[in-house]
């Protein structure tokens, strides 16, 4: 396992744990209940804090491993670049689906089946945060996948 693959795996695990925290605080079953802005601020600050601390630990560990002689090569740099593009593509698609949903709701009086109420602040917050996590998870997962690809 390369250092790049190890750090991506750790980052993916940390992101999954932070997303579970986010989902636990924002959802009840399959719904997103009403929450006041103060609760959403608190959730956002905890998610931001946990994510920052977790990624800082991974970054410090990676720097420590580099000092001990584990280096990334050109293949790792190429894998990271491809994974970056795939993560951005996932975010682009997710944001465009959200835009489509908003425009559909604004254009037609009938809601589409299984639509999200994006005018509901907790729902909008959760959807946008989920898109951020999706982008990061896709990038890290593809680093691991592409590192295993011959």
Q: What is the pLDDT of residues 118-138, one digit of tens each?
A: 788 999 999 999 999 999 999
**Is residue 20 predicted with pLDDT exceeding 90?**
yes
Q: Which of 20, 31, 144 is nearest to 82 (CA)?
A: 144
pLDDT at 107: 83
Taking all residues of the chain, what is their mean pLDDT, rounded to a whole number? 92
Cβ-in-10-Å burial (0-12, 13-18, 19+) of 101 comes to middle
Q: How far is CA 134 from the centre of its chain?
A: 4
Does pTM surpass 0.85?
yes
- Determine contact, residues 133/15, Cβ cutoff 8 Å: yes
Q: Which domain holds residue 51?
A: 3-148
Flag the least confident range among 15-19, 94-98, 105-109: 105-109
- The H-assigned helical ranges of 108-120 are none
**Is residue 109 predicted with pLDDT exceeding 80?**
no
pLDDT at 112: 67
Strand, coil or helix: what is 34?
A: coil
* pLDDT tier, 114 (very low <50, low <70, confident <90, very high otherwise): low
Overall domain count for the chain: 1
Q: Over pLDDT 90: what percentage of the chain?
A: 77
* pLDDT tier, 117 (very low <50, low <70, confident <90, very high otherwise): confident
- The H-assigned helical ranges of the chain are 3-26, 37-67, 74-107, 121-148
Per-residue pLDDT reduced to its tens digit, 39-63:
999 999 999 999 999 999 999 999 9
């Amino acid at each position: 396992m390369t250092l790049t693959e190890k750090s991506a795996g750790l980052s993916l695990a940390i992101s999954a744990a932070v997303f579970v925290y986010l989902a636990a605080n924002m959802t009840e079953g399959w719904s997103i209940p009403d929450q006041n802005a103060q609760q959403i601020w608190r959730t956002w600050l905890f998610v931001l804090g946990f994510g920052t601390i977790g990624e800082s630990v991974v970054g410090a560990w990676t720097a420590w491993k580099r000092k001990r002689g584990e280096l990334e090569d050109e293949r790792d740099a190429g894998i990271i670049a491809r994974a970056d593009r795939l993560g951005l593509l996932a975010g682009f698609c997710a944001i465009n689906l959200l835009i489509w949903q908003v425009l559909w709701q604004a254009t037609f009086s009938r809601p589409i089946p299984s639509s999200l109420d994006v005018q509901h602040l907790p729902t909008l917050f959760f959807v946008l945060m989920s898109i951020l996590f999706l982008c990061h998870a896709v990038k890290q997962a593809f680093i691991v996948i592409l590192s295993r690809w011959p």
